[in-house]
Structure 1
Amino acid sequence: MSSFTHFNEQGRAKMVDITDKSDTIRTAIAKSSVTVNKKIYEQIINNGNSKGDVLAVSQVAGIMAAKKTSDIIPMCHPLSLRGVDISFGWDLRNEEHKLEITVSVKTKGSTGVEMEALTAASVCALTVYDMCKAVDKGMVIGPTYLAEKTGGKNGDFKRELI
């Protein structure tokens, strides 16, 4: 018998039963990035991309992804999210043009929102890539990671700076 909670007695995958877990306020912050060339950077900051406002579309895509996480990650529970916030910033050191994406997700429930935050950050980055790939397919996505989370029986988590 496995000690993993996502397997049944036959060793097959199952969605964990969270019926007896207490509702608590749960938050998660995930980060990702997309490194782009100077032309794409200038298109984004000047809203000059032919497909539209890259950051606005990426933000909406990220929010939609957070809400649909359980549809694409098989063992995730459908959650009633209480808030999703996405922000962008630029790291222009080392002559790179790195778009930094930060996603914050919040709920009150019996399971965490880490997967929702990570999915949203990933989809934001993928949307930027999709909207800008006609200019340069050499963009680099990542790293994507959980920066912090609060709530739940396992307690809080905060990643050391990457």
Structure 2
Amino acid sequence: MTELTHINASGEANMVDVSEKAETVREAKAEAFVTMSDQTLQLIVSGQHHKGDVFATARIAGIQAAKKTWDLIPLCHPLLLSKVEVQLEAQPELNRVRIVSTCKLAGKTGVEMEALTAASVAALTIYDMCKAVQKDMVIGPIRLLEKRGGKSGDFQVSTADQGEG
């Protein structure tokens, strides 16, 4: 097993020094799900929700969250993201919404946390906008789907497992 990178020799939490790392193109993709009743999902899909366009609001919230990850997660570096994309897909056969976020940059550290934060906050925004009509929605699972670039190499969940949540 690889050792933890955010723990120093004394066992204390610290921010990883990336000053000597090479700048490379890095990209990460994450997903999250929000499961709800078919009536709640229909309100979202039909555009009849009294709070407005739930998907548009969740998309913007996810993008904003990715840009603020360093402010939310204590040991994350502030990053100059070159791309943040948040896609939302209604899956009526499963009474849920699938959220897929993609973050990209040319830099010295990865964007996995930014992708996970974008997907998570988009899911939380859906919950917030719909809680008046349904309080027992379920958020999750949330997970990293893939990452590219950097010293640790590429990672991807098996294609058979993508979208299964």
Normalised TM-score (structure 1): 0.93
Structure 1 match to 2:77: 77
- Aligned 8 A contact 2:32 2:98 in 1: yes
Map of 1:1-162 to 2, 5 A cutoff? Answer: 4-93=4-93, 96-160=94-158, 161=161, 162=164
CA distance in 2, matches of 1:25, 1:4: 23
- Aligned 8 A contact 2:38 2:92 in 1: no
Aligned residues with identical type, % of pairs? 50
**What CA deviation, in whole Å up to 9, does each residue of 1:122-161 have, x standing for no partner?**
0000000000000011111111000000000010000121
SS at match of 1:63: helix
CA distance in 2, matches of 1:99, 1:9: 43
Runs of 4+ with >3 A deviation: none
Structural RMSD (CA)? 1.1
**What CA deviation, in whole Å up to 9, does each residue of 1:82-139 have, x standing for no partner?**
000111112233xx31101010110000000000000000000000000000001111
The one-letter code sitting in structure 2 at the alignment partner of 1:110 is K
SS at match of 1:103: strand
Structure 1 alignment gaps of length 5 or more: none
SS at match of 1:144: strand
Structure 2 alignment gaps of length 5 or more: none
CA distance in 2, matches of 1:122, 1:10: 32
CA distance in 2, matches of 1:100, 1:11: 38
* Structure 1 residue 11: Cα displacement: 2.3
